[in-house]
Amino acid sequence: MEPKTAGGQGALPEAASTDIGNRRHQILPALNEAQFELLGRYGERRHFKAGDILFRQGDRHISMYVIISGAIEIERASALGGPVVHGTHGAGMFTGEIGTLAGRAAVATGRVVADGEFIVISEESLRTLVISEAALSETIMRAYILRRVAYMQDQTGGVVMFGARHSQATLVLRHFLTRNGQPTAYFDTELHAETAQMMERFGVTEADIPVIVTPSGEVLRHPTLRQVADSIGLSSDNIDGRTFDLVVVGAGPAGLAAAVYAASEGLSVAVLDSKAPGGQAGSSSKIENYFGFPTGVSGQALAGRGLSQARKFGAEVAVPVRVSAVDCEGPDFEIAIDSGERLRARSIVIATGARYRKPDLPDLERFEGCGVYYSASFMEATFCANEEVVIVGGGNSAGQAAVFLAGHAKHVHIVVRADGLAASMSRYLIQRIEAAPNITLHTRKQIVELQGEDKLERISWQTAGGEVKTAPARHLFLFLGAEPNTAWLGDCVELDDKHFVLTGPQVPMEDWPLERGPHFLETSRPRIFAVGDVRSGSVKRVAAAVGEGSAAVQSLHQVLASD
């Protein structure tokens, strides 16, 4: 099939050009002779002929190609149709996007269409380049990040997904793809008329949902997150059997901060996360009280920037990777992953955070993903457009969700057991809630029952006086307290009575094996640190988590040098 053309020389994907086309000069910068000379120190000059394939979509660990003369055509395969030509890179331009730094799958195929001379820079040399050459690094990194944004907005070359609106497995998979920056053309059996015809084309039925079709045409029925990640080249392929100076478990703000500081100071670092970079903060629609962002920043944008920084300095950020066990004995720690892979670490930073507590409600799990949600992203907002929603919780996460959903829902009801929000929510969020005409606060009430057949239809709540009332409700958002993600630790480190990790002065001295005392963020096991929400007594704020991640690395250097 002949490729379709989406644009001319240096064109962006058509879907992206409307949104970020005014930054074209940053996405497709033209380098000069002086920069060619500098780049030549990190690569080799080679001649290619028209028709040569430099890399294919899906290839991992590809090189960066800088065009001195000649031209490269960028083409993306699509399961929805034939290949699509997205433009031509001419003299002065270079190939790649942010995944190139991490050895992830190429998002397009690069074909030489005019004979020329190129500078070929390997993956390893590219990482050295972006660390060593500050000015040029800024140009390359900005272009790489913006290109990924452009690809995220363009669905023609991404994966195809078939799912159902009221399916927990569908919601989990959509969240995974979105938060990991994977462009996805989504077809819903309940919402899109063309879905049945499209599913027939790929030979799948509703019993197979959720279904993923990769750009190469591979069909995955009921896939796990790891199966999807492996098939589209998102997962890491080089951590098994390796030993790192530091392994960070959890890629939230605390974990990413630790990775950035450790990798920038020369340590070999691996970051493992079971879902996506950003942690709980990554699902926030807007964080407005984080220092340096006066107009706010979405959790996903903040996570994306942290991920790019970590990879710039050479940290290996691997998702979806779930740690199943850790062996704390011996000179190095051995970490087992649920996929069967194993790696070793001289030190560990525990940054697995906390998850929202599940209330003791009958049939709660039956309605998860089909009426009950634990995050309020744009995805959930589309489910409840022009409908009434109920939010349970009085913290900042609940407040952010209420303000965000009020812009999409007909009415938002906040239910709390307390007399108000002042004790647990930031004042600026309370003011937003009070000013919103379609948000109502219900105090001294708690949800006691969920009702419905295959999806949530009604809820019952109890007042302080014991009276129970029932009302229609199809969308319930739960933001209740926090439970630490520490089950994977076993008995490796000491925990408090709520299973948060004890650190520094909290560690019982009878459990401490060395003459020196533990550092402030160090656990009862030397060379293992805990940061962010998983740590006992931590401040549940993004800025505090980032600070702890960076502070742990300073202590870590001292520990590795002395122990």
| Residue that wins the pLDDT comparison between 20 and 78 | 78
pTM of the model: 0.92
Residues 286 and 429 in one domain: no
CB-CB contact of 80 with 1 (8 Å): no
Q: How far apart are CA 549 and CA 531, in angstroms?
A: 6
CB-CB contact of 513 with 524 (8 Å): no
- Domain membership of residue 190 as a residue range: 159-232
On whether residue 15 sits in a domain, the answer given is yes
Q: What is the pLDDT of residues 47-78, one digit of tens each?
A: 999 999 999 999 999 999 999 999 999 998 88
Per-residue confidence band for 563, with pLDDT thresholds at 50, 70 and 90: low
DSSP-assigned letter for residue 317: E
Residues 210 and 193 in one domain: yes
Tell whether the model's pLDDT for residue 1 goes beyond 50.
Answer: no
Residues 129 and 221 in one domain: no
Q: Which residue reads 């030549």 in tokens?
A: 40
| Residue that wins the pLDDT comparison between 143 and 4 | 143
Q: Which residue(s) pair with 445 in the sheet?
A: 463
Q: How many helices (H) and strands (E) does the chain have?
A: 16, 29
CB-CB contact of 241 with 342 (8 Å): yes
Q: Which residue, among 539, 536, 519, has the nearest Cα to 527 in the 3D structure?
A: 519
Q: The domain that contains 75 carries what CATH number? A: 2.60.120.10
Per-residue confidence band for 465, with pLDDT thresholds at 50, 70 and 90: confident
Q: The domain that contains 326 carries what CATH number? A: 3.50.50.60
Report helix, strand or coil for 114: strand
Residues 18 and 147 in one domain: yes
Residues 471 and 490 in one domain: no
CB-CB contact of 307 with 519 (8 Å): no
Q: What is the pLDDT of residues 360-370, one digit of tens each?
A: 999 999 999 99
**For all residues of the chain together, what is the average pLDDT?**
92
Q: Which helix or strand (DSSP H or E) is residue 558 part of?
A: helix 542-562
Residues 13 and 136 in one domain: yes
**Residue 136's Cα: distance from chain center in Å?**
27
Q: How far apart are CA 461 and CA 467, in angstroms?
A: 8
Q: How far apart are CA 391 and CA 545, in angstroms?
A: 25
CB-CB contact of 331 with 316 (8 Å): no
Q: Which helix or strand (DSSP H or E) is residue 86 part of?
A: strand 81-89
Residues 210 and 247 in one domain: no
Residues 66 and 104 in one domain: yes
Residues 135 and 263 in one domain: no
Tell whether the model's pLDDT for residue 4 goes beyond 50.
Answer: no
CB-CB contact of 311 with 262 (8 Å): no
Share of the chain above pLDDT 70, in %: 96
On whether residue 502 sits in a domain, the answer given is no
Residues 201 and 258 in one domain: no
On whether residue 214 sits in a domain, the answer given is yes
Per-residue confidence band for 562, with pLDDT thresholds at 50, 70 and 90: confident
On whether residue 501 sits in a domain, the answer given is no
Residues 421 and 401 in one domain: yes
Question: Could you count the other beta carbons within 10 Å of the beta carbon of residue 8?
Answer: 9
Q: How far apart are CA 148 and CA 152, in angstroms?
A: 6
Question: How many domains would you assign to the chain?
Answer: 4
On whether residue 164 sits in a domain, the answer given is yes
Residues 88 and 118 in one domain: yes
